[in-house]
Structure 1
Amino acid sequence: MKSFLLVLLSSVLLFGCSDSENPTTCGVENPLKDLAWLKQEIENAGGPNSSEYSFLMQASYQGQTVFFFGFCNPLWNYATIYQDCQGNRISGEITFADLSNQKVIWKPANSVCTFS
């Protein structure tokens, strides 16, 4: 009986909780909808002359989540602005090599950008 209880308790501890069941970013389940500042930035990125070239990335920088827009139009020269979970700009010289876990989290339906 004791061994059965030990196995049952072990199973509950091993399988009962999982960090990946409800992953959160910036304390919310869906930053695109739940972070008001980010939702507004996405709406602004959908301008008539640029939407098909824009996309939004999420990454980790020095242990914190950051967001930044990218553009795939080869004729544009732009500066990347990195923002934290509250929408504050992160200052300093940041390169793409400083970022980990980079992923595209939004692009418009008419996007011409390709990712490999």
Structure 2
Amino acid sequence: MKRISLAAILVGLLAFGCNNDDVTVISACDVENPIEDLEWLRSEIQRRKNDTSADAVYCYIEQAKSDGQTIFIYNDCNPLASKVIPILNCSGTSVGFLGDENFRLNGIEKRFVLFRPTDFACKLD
């Protein structure tokens, strides 16, 4: 009995200890878990998990609020790249870009990292 319990504990620790799903999940877009419940977001996260390009270690997704609406920011922290950062709404439609006239930096609040790769190369404040 102890072997089974110890084995179950070890499997549980491995499953959770090596998982990158230790990010905060806050209900939004009329769903409890946007990562699981929004098909477009789940697909994008899976695509990013499968991405083996050198730049993938710099890319992450944030969830935030702008004018009371939930938004998703496809952010990038590569110090050598200058990119336009797209912003999507709850349906996965692009609604603008970080810093444009609709999404000024000071108008975005409650930002947090929703997804980052397991080999994430950046330190965020």
Q: TM-score range by the shorter chain?
A: 0.7 to 0.9
Long gaps (5+) in structure 2: 1-25
Q: Identify which of 78, 86, 92 aligns with 1:81.
A: 86
Q: Kindly report which structure 2 residues correspond to 1:30-69, keeping only aligned pairs within 5 A, or say none.
A: 30-46=33-49, 47-49=51-53, 50-69=55-74
**TM-score when normalising by structure 2:** 0.68
| Aligned CA-pair RMSD | 1.5
Query: Which runs of at least 4 in structure 1 moved beyond 4 Å after TM superposition?
Result: none
Q: Identify which of 100, 109, 113 aligns with 1:100.
A: 109
Rg larger for: 1
Shift of 1:90: 1.1
Aligned residues: 94
Percent same amino acid among aligned pairs? 30
- Report the secondary structure of 2:110's partner residue: strand
**TM-score when normalising by structure 1:** 0.73
Cα distance between partner residues in 2 of 1:29 and 1:51 = 27
Long gaps (5+) in structure 1: 1-22
The match for 2:77 is 72
Cα distance between partner residues in 2 of 1:32 and 1:44 = 13
